[in-house]
A and B are shown apart, each in its own frame.
Chain A
Amino acid sequence: MSTDPLAQKVLDGTPPAEPGGEHGRAGGHGAGRGVLLFERTALLVLLVALCVLFSVLPESRSDFASLTDVRNIAADVVVGGVLALAAIIPLVAGEFDFSIGLTLEFSAMITAGFIVRLHQPLPVAIIAGLVTGLVIGTVNGYLVAFRKLNSFIITFAIATIVTGLVELYANGNSILVSSDALTNFGLTSSLWLGIPRSLYAFVFIALVVWYVLDHTPIGRYWHGTGSNRSAATLVGLPVRRLVFLSFVASGLLASMAGILYLSQQGSATPNVGQGYVLPAYAAVFLGATVFKIGRFNVWGTVVAVFFVAIGSTGLVFAGLAPWVQSVFQGAVLIIALGVTKVIGQRRGTETALAGPKL
């Protein structure tokens, strides 16, 4: 297809209207831009401030100064971060997927089982783990997109079923992995240019998700589907297929998180997955307050993942009891939603955040 000749003609003919020209009132544009830039990067500034604070506080100074601990935090971010990326895509398309935690757990379990119980080579085991995620995503997607069932409830139900399957498969025990190739990759001390290797995996996956969401038509279609479903139908988008694919993608990403979890921990354990879900959603919603305010976005989520990790670990380093972590994460989620709403209202947009309507 060519560029739109209708529009092109006008482009040649008349100069485009000056932004904020005769009808939009120019009122403190320069100051407005500054405020906007600050709002867009406020979380980043806060993240830096947090790092400085914890490096200065006497209680946490020693931990924060140690390179090993910094690497530990960085490595800790990987599993939760990839899971947050799994949560983003259905959210962008206007749906919730709460089964990602169990998908993580079950994929790790299946991969470990293929290595230990079935004695399959590592690539086969990894593929089995990924297929597990694809299957769960497909079931979710089918029920939500084509059977039109509420994603909130359905993914909870699926997560509950998977909990049972994990129990059945694991029999209540952890499966220890014997593959050095896998576990060496995940070791915090396994570095590449001084950075834990699993962190590269996170960054690579984030790049791919960012590219798909922001630089391919399907990403734009997902945004449209989440923004207004009837308008999406109106402009000819295959809404149901898009919703279905968003769950498949999220299942696949959650299984990647599971395999990374396995490589870091060296074992697959029942009842660990669900604990990653709330921090993942907190990060995604908090991420929507950075860079592109009011929109779920990948780099905002990445910053938020670090913010949540450094915040909650730092609090413990600073000598506070571990329960503070949970309170911190929940509070972050509430504040993130509040901030997006306030900023949205001030700009006169009606919905602060496009996404699932409950």
Chain B
Amino acid sequence: MTAGETGSGAVGPAVQEEAGRRHLELRSITKRFGPTYALDGASLSVGRGEVHALFGGNGSGKSTMIKVLAGVYRAEPGGEIQVGDVVSAAPQWTPTAARNAGLRFVHQDLGLFPALSVAENLAMGHGYATSPAGRIRWPQVRREARDVLSRLEIKVRVSQLVGELRRGDQALVAIARALQDEEIAGSGVLVLDEPTASLPEHEVTVLMDALRRFAQMGTSIVYVSHRVDEVQEVADTITILRDGVDILTTPARAISKGELAEAISGAAAADGPAAGRAAAHGGGLEPVLAVTGLAGGPLRKVDLTVGKGEIVGIAGLLGSGRSSVLRALYGMLPGATGRLILNGTPLAGLSPAQGMKRGIGYLPEDRSEAGFFDQSVAENLSASRTASYWRGGRFQRGRERGDALSAISRFKIHCDGPGQPLSSLSGGNQQKVLVARVLLRQPQIVLLDEPTQGVDVNAKAEIWSLLRQSIAESGISVLVVSSDFEELAEQADRVVILARGRILREISGPDMTSESLARAAYGDEEALGADEEKVQP
């Protein structure tokens, strides 16, 4: 298939040994989108049986590198890709070449079929066993699936529907599907793109253990992540990408968490973000928002008060109703009922338009529901205030652009300018645009659903410092849902624990740690017998 394969016999023993030691090498890969360099001569070298973390912030080029490796993006001429003995010029690399070289990819979106069984999901990856007449041989399909799972030591039943599995097991099934081919058993390269993004904390360790096991079996693993903790825990070696360049490759033990955070941001990471935390908790503050008996969807009579300048967190597992609270408050949960008092005025029948007028800002969990991706950064920033740029029969584009420029600098949005389409920004910067859009309306209270999900450490710190700045300057209040307990413990003044549509307790003050929050959320959920988790719709 390539010159490398046929020519390998002629290569001297020393060279061959060298090639055997390094399993996968990308050498000076460049990838350009228009005028922007997503990768600028980046390299990566992975040893056999190694867990190699590819670490970097949003927009650092991690995803681009993976897509080049998968043959999805065509790199600019000049670079080289080597897997084992197979060498190819980077622009000639194709998805077929990647597959033949033993590379397997598991993406953030696992690409599973929730309505099908584990065995069927595996068979989708490499074909169903059929009789000569074309009928599927179910016993054989199930046996093959069982063999693959036992070889990889993954403990799930092959007849179970994937949608009924825990998220962590779903990830393992996706990995099993990728690694099932006999010919790459113990010799392939598994590339995982942000595998833990949607996993609850306690399932992350299950995945980590499995990855270590696969590495011992001889599979090399490239692990793409922006989470400092995970990278430290799972990786043997870490390559750090920043602005499309690999700035450092180091054994994981030789670098501290602080150094990692610093390395991806290019500056010392913000330390102790709780510095500006409101001194008083709960009772002392005048309530901006008070809701009683909020019901509808999964919610069962939720009572909640948010004081002026306060950050209130909502913690709970998937399915606890945490997102529904915010949707109901913004009038986006059909059939929701409850008494809502905003600044002492009772509100009946909220709609998004009314909510906005009354000073409520909301940002949903799913970014794709919130952004105008084909429109420019400026248009996205002004979207909720369009009419204010309409003066004397003209649309004041100059003023819109000026406001956008100042928002871009204030919110540290990295982009080529206000005219750049939102879709071409990195995920973290898209999120900053959307947060900015909410804050620019000068709301009294903002409802944020997972505002820092899928955002790197640096952008996360920036988003929080901007929220704190708005609290200090305009006295806004924040009601935030997050599945990151550490974030809640660091940022919130108090946290309410939600399970099965009810508020179970409130945690504040020195008791509020990521451990106590996690224990409360998981413990209470388990006590209620609701351990089974459903795939997010």
List residues of chain A with CB within 8 A of the CB of B385. Answer: 1, 4
- In the assembled complex, the Cα of A101 lies from the Cα of B442 at a distance in Å of 47
Complex interface residues of chain B between 344 and 391 (CB less than 8 A to chain A): 352-353, 355-357, 362, 364, 368-375, 379, 383-388, 390
Contact in complex: A6, B372 (CB < 8 Å): no
Q: How far is the CA of A220 from the CA of B395 in the complex (A)?
A: 10
Question: When the two chains form their complex, are residues A6 and B442 in contact, meaning their CB atoms are under 8 A apart?
Answer: yes
B236 contacts chain A at the CB level, 8 A cutoff: no
Closest partner residue, chain A, to B436 (CB atom): A7
**Contacts of A214-231 to chain B: CB distance below 8 A:** 214-217, 220-221, 223-224, 227-228, 230-231
Residue contact A10 to B421, C-beta cutoff 8 Å: no
Within 8 A of B (CB), among A200-216: 214-216
Most chain B CB neighbours (cut-off 10 Å) among A5, A19, A346: A19
Q: How many residue pairs between the two chains, A and B, have CB atoms under 8 Å in the bound complex? A: 160
Chain B, residue nearest A26 (CB):
B35
**In the complex, how many angstroms separate the beta carbon of A299 from the nearest chain B beta carbon?**
16
Cα A23 to Cα B399 with chains together (Å): 25
CB nearest neighbor in B for A15:
B409
A67 interface residue per 8 A CB criterion:
no
B243 partner residues in chain A, CB cutoff 8 A: 23, 25
Question: CA A224 – CA B394 in complex, angstroms?
Answer: 18
Docked complex: B378-435 residues within 8 A CB-CB of A: 379, 383-388, 390, 393-395, 399, 402-403, 405-410, 413-417, 421, 423-424
B439 lies within 8 A of chain A by Cβ:
yes
Check if A235 sits within 8 Å of B383, measured CB to CB.
yes
Q: Which of A220, A236, A238, A353 contacts B379 (CB 8 A)?
A: A220
Which of chain B's residues has its CB closest to A229's CB?
B369
CA gap between A7 and B441 in the complex, in Å: 10
Asked if A279 CB lies within 8 Å of chain B CBs, one says no
Q: Is the interface of A mostly helix, strand, loop or mixed?
A: loop
A319 interface residue per 8 A CB criterion = no
C-beta contact mask, A285-297 vs B, less than 8 Å → 1, else 0?
Answer: 0000000001100
Report whether B406 and A348 are in contact in the complex, using a CB–CB cutoff of 8 Å. Answer: no
A351 contact from B374, B410, B417, B439, Cβ within 8 A: B374
- Neighbouring A residues of B421 by C-beta, 8 Å: 347, 349
B261 to chain A, nearest CB (A): 18
Residue pair A349, B424 in contact (C-beta under 8 Å): yes
Q: Is B387 within 8 A of A217, CB to CB? A: yes
B49 at the interface (CB under 8 A from A): no
B40 interface residue (CB < 8 Å to A): yes
How many angstroms between the C-alpha atoms of A44 and B444 in the bound complex?
A: 50
Supposing A23-B59, A347-B424 touch, asked if A235 and B403 sit within 8 A by C-beta, the answer is no
Whether the pair A227, B375 counts as a contact (CB closer than 8 A) is yes
Is B424 in contact with A236, judged by CB distance below 8 angstroms? no
Q: Which of B40, B403, B437, B474 has the most CB of A within 10 A?
A: B403
B407 to chain A: closest residue by CB: A7
**Nearest-CB residue, chain B, relative to A346:** B34
B403 touches A7 (CB 8 A): yes
Contact with A along B441-473 (1 / 0, CB 8 A): 010000000000000000000000000001001
Give the residues from 299 to 358 in chain A that come closer than 8 angstroms, CB to CB, to chain B.
346-351, 353-354
Tell whether, in the assembled complex, residue B424 and residue A235 are in contact, meaning their CB atoms are under 8 Å apart: no
What is the CB-to-nearest-CB distance from A244 to chain B, in angstroms, rounded to a whole number? 16
Give the residue of A7, A236, A348, A354 whose beta carbon is less than 8 angstroms from that of B34: A348
A11 CB–B CB distance under 8 Å = yes
Q: Please name all residues of chain B whose beta carbon is closer than 8 Å to the beta carbon of A29 when the two chains form the complex.
A: 35
Given contact pairs A23-B243, A25-B35, A217 touches B374 in the complex (Cβ within 8 A):
no
Taken together as a complex, chains A and B put the C-alpha atoms of A19 and B369 apart, in Å, by 27
Check if B442 sits within 8 Å of A224, measured CB to CB.
no
- The answer to whether B393 and A215 have CB atoms under 8 Å apart is yes
Q: Name B356's closest neighbour in chain A (CB-CB).
A: A236
Task: Tell me the bound Cα distance from A232 to B370 in angstroms.
Answer: 8
B37 touches A27 (CB 8 A): yes
Q: Bound state CA distance, A354 and B353, in angstroms?
A: 24
A15–B357 Cα distance when bound, in Å, is 31
Q: Does the CB pair A17–B409 fall under 8 Å?
A: yes
Enumerate chain B residues within 8 angstroms of A347, measured Cβ to Cβ: 33-34, 421, 424
Contact indicator A348/B375 (Cβ below 8 Å): no
Most buried by B among A27, A29, A236: A236
A214 to B424, CA, bound (A): 23
B-contacting residues, A1-44, CB 8 Å? 1, 3-8, 10-11, 14-17, 19-20, 23-29, 32
Interface size on B, residues (CB 8 A): 61
A89 to B329, CA, bound (A): 33
Of B36, B372, B442, the contact of A231 (CB 8 Å cutoff): B372
Q: How far is the CB of A141 from chain B (nearest CB, A)?
A: 20
A253 to B78, CA, bound (A): 55
What count of chain A residues pass the 8 Å CB interface test? Answer: 52
| B419 → A minimal CB distance (Å) | 9
Task: Report if B244 contacts A (CB, 8 A).
Answer: yes
A217-B390, A234-B369 known; A350 vs B383 contact (CB < 8 Å): no
* Given A4-B385, A217-B386, A349:B408 Cβ within 8 A: no
Tell me the nearest residue of chain B to A35, going by C-beta: B34
**How far is the CB of B373 from the nearest CB of chain A, in Å?**
6
Cα–Cα distance between A25 and B245 once the two chains are bound (Å): 12
Considering the chains assembled together, what is the distance between the CA atoms of A46 and B521 in angstroms? Answer: 64
Q: Is A173 an interface residue (CB 8 A)?
A: no
Is B32 interfacial (CB-CB < 8 Å)?
A: yes
Residues of chain A lying within 8 A (CB to CB) of residue B332: 233-234
Q: Which one of B383, B402, B416 contacts A19 once the chains associate, using CB atoms below 8 Å? A: B416
A27 with B32: in contact, given A6-B440, A351-B423 (CB under 8 Å)?
Answer: yes
B384, A236: Cβ atoms under 8 Å?
Answer: yes
Decide if B356 touches A230 in the complex (CB within 8 Å): no
Residue of B nearest to A230 (CB): B369
With A6-B439, A10-B410, A235-B384 known as contacts, the answer to whether A349 contacts B369 (CB < 8 A) is no
In Å, the complex CA distance between A3 and B370 comes to: 23
B455 CB → nearest A CB, Å: 15
Residue among B35, B356, B405 making CB contact with A16, cutoff 8 Å: B405
A10-B406, A10-B409 are contacts. A25–B244 as well, Cβ < 8 Å? yes
Cβ-defined partner of B372 (8 Å) among A4, A224, A346: A224
When C-beta atoms are compared, the residue in chain A nearest to B40 turns out to be A25
Asked if residues A234 and B370 are in contact (CB atoms below 8 Å), the reply is yes
- Nearest CB of A to B98, in Å: 21
**Contact across chains for A233 and B34 when beta carbons are under 8 A apart:** no
Chain B residues within an 8 Å CB radius of A220: 379, 386, 395
B438 to chain A, nearest CB (A): 9
The digit string for A170-214, where 1 denotes a CB below 8 A from any CB of B, is 000000000000000000000000000000000000000000001
Chain A residues contacting B357 (CB-CB under 8 Å) are 236
Decide: A20 and B416 in contact? CB cutoff 8 A.
Answer: yes
Q: 7 tightest CB-CB pairs across the interface, nearest first?
A: A19-B417, A16-B405, A23-B414, A236-B353, A235-B384, A11-B406, A227-B372
Residues of A at under 8 Å CB distance from B? 1, 3-8, 10-11, 14-17, 19-20, 23-29, 32, 214-217, 220-221, 223-224, 227-228, 230-238, 294-295, 346-351, 353-354
Q: List 29 A-B contacts (CB under 8 A).
A: A6-B474, A7-B410, A7-B440, A10-B410, A11-B402, A11-B406, A14-B406, A20-B35, A23-B59, A29-B35, A220-B379, A220-B395, A223-B372, A223-B379, A224-B375, A224-B383, A227-B373, A227-B374, A230-B370, A231-B371, A234-B352, A235-B384, A236-B356, A238-B353, A295-B374, A347-B421, A348-B424, A351-B423, A353-B374
Beyond contacts A7-B403, A233-B352: 16 other A-B pairs, Cβ-Cβ < 8 A, are A5-B442, A6-B440, A6-B473, A15-B409, A16-B405, A16-B409, A20-B416, A25-B37, A27-B36, A223-B379, A227-B373, A230-B369, A234-B364, A234-B370, A350-B423, A354-B375
